[in-house]
Structure formats: C-alpha cells, structure tokens
C-alpha cells in the first residue's frame, strides 16, 4: 500500500526539512512536543514510523530498550543515519508504515510524530500498529492540527506552509482529539491520554493501549 506521491512530496528537501518544519509551526511547539516525550515511561522495544530526519528519534530512544526508526523516504533516512545511525539502540530501515515487514505482536510500542495527518488512509495505519503490537502495547501519536487555533493563526500557518512546501497533499487531515480517539478505538485501542498542546500553533498528543482482549 505504498504511497509514492506522499513519499515524493516530503522527500524534496532533506537538508532543510527541520528548518522548514520549525518555520511553519514554530520552535515553541516543537520544544513543547519534546518536553512531553521526555515525560514518557519506559517503552521497551519500539518502532518509530515516519522518523524523517530523526528529529524525535533522538528524544524517544532514551525511553526504549531498542528501536527501529523507519521512514519511506530514502533521502530523509540518509539524514537520519547521519544523525542517529551510530546509536547502539537504533536500527534505521525503510518501511511502508501501512504494510510493514514486522511480524505480528512483536513490539512493545509504536511512536509516530507528524505522520498520521498526511497519510491517505489513517485507519489502515492504525490497524497495522495494532497488528504488530504485543498485548497491552502502547501507541504514542503526535500530530499537527489546526483544531483550537484562532482563524488568523490558521491563515498565517497556512501561508508559511505554502511558502515552505508548496500546495499540501490533497489527503492532508486536521484531526480533532475526538476524531483521532474514535479512530484509535475503532482500531482496538483504549485511550490513556489525550491533549492538545501548543499556543499559536497546535499538536495533538494522544496515547493508546492495545486492548487486553486482543
């Protein structure tokens, strides 16, 4: 279920990817996301989907026993290898997050940041997370949203996005906490934490647990 258009879209600017993201959403929000991740408990054996340049891999790895940092973009993975490839806990590899090579029920946690809102079929991604997680496994999602933003802030962020990246992909989503929680529940997760973080720009931060009956 490889999404070539999405891969090509986000692979265009590997060397300036982080700077563009900071320009669009602001450093304040990125710092707040990192602070939330720093508060996570031990996550065991983890896979990160959409690791990009490894910007959050550096933070999340301290919470793991070992981790796979994965992405569909070769150019972004090249940057990630330079950034975190030598870390003893990190294995970097190419994966399609909607149809991975991982065996069912072999991982303790799944983490994704700023991915699910640009995926064409979020429900397929969530089902794949459910499949590869062990019973009671943890799913941690951070994703940008315009939910709760003032109209003028939405307009300004939209202009910054177009200036940096061009026209957004047609299947880009902006989830409310309720919408994303409902999708996770449909995929078999119990919601353990859900909040909107940020000031002028926003992100959803939501943690789910694979249902015990799985």
* pLDDT tens, residue by residue, 137-147: 999 999 999 99
Q: For residue 9, what pLDDT is reported?
A: 67
What is the rounded distance in angstroms from the CA atom of residue 46 to the CA atom of residue 149? 32
**Interior/surface letters 151-186, b for 16+ CB within 10 angstroms, e for the rest:** eebeeebeebbeebbeeebeeeeebebeebbebbee
Q: For residue 7, what pLDDT is reported?
A: 60
Q: For residue 3, what pLDDT is reported?
A: 55
pTM equals 0.92
What is the rounded distance in angstroms from the CA atom of residue 102 to the CA atom of residue 181? 25
Question: Which string of DSSP letters, residue by residue, matches 3-59?
Answer: -HHHHHHHTS-TTTHHHHHHHHH-HHHHHHHHHHHHT----EEEEEES-TTTTTHHH
* Burial of residue 82 (number of CB atoms within 10 Å: 0-12, 13-18, 19+): exposed
Domains and CATH numbers, the chain: 4-210 (3.40.50.150)
Q: For residue 5, what pLDDT is reported?
A: 62
Q: For residue 213, what pLDDT is reported?
A: 63
* pLDDT tens, residue by residue, 145-174: 999 999 999 999 999 989 987 887 777 889
- Closest by CA to 44, choosing from 58, 60, 28, is 60
The two tokens of residue 92 are 């970097």
Give average pLDDT by consecutive 10-residue segment, the chain, 214 residues. 59 82 92 96 98 95 98 93 94 96 98 93 96 98 94 93 83 91 97 96 97 68
Q: For residue 17, what pLDDT is reported?
A: 85
Q: For residue 13, what pLDDT is reported?
A: 74
Distance between terminal CA atoms of the chain? 24
Q: For residue 165, what pLDDT is reported?
A: 78
The two tokens of residue 75 are 């150019």
Strands 189-197 and 202-210: antiparallel
What is the rounded distance in angstroms from the CA atom of residue 145 to the CA atom of residue 166? 18
Q: For residue 6, what pLDDT is reported?
A: 62
């Amino acid at each position: 279920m490889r999404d070539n258009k999405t891969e090509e879209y986000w692979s265009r600017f590997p060397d300036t990817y982080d700077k563009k993201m900071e320009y669009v959403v602001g450093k304040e929000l990125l710092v707040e996301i990192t602070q939330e991740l720093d508060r996570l408990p031990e996550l065991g054996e983890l896979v990160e989907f959409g690791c990009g340049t490894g910007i959050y891999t550096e933070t999340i790895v301290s919470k793991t026993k070992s981790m796979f940092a994965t992405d569909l973009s070769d150019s972004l993975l090249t940057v990630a290898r330079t950034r975190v490839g030598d870390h003893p806990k990190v294995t970097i590899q190419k994966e399609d997050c909607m149809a991975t090579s991982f065996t069912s029920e072999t991982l303790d946690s799944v983490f994704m940041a700023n991915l699910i809102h640009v995926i064409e079929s979020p429900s397929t991604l969530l089902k794949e997370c459910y499949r590869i997680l062990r019973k009671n496994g943890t799913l941690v999602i951070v994703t940008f949203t315009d939910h709760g933003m003032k109209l003028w802030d939405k307009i300004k962020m939209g202009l910054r996005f177009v200036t940096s990246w061009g026209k957004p992909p047609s299947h880009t989503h902006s989830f409310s906490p309720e919408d994303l929680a409902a999708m996770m529940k449909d995929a078999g997760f119990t919601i353990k934490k859900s909040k909107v973080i940020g000031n002028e720009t926003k992100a959803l931060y939501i943690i789910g647990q694979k249902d015990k009956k799985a």
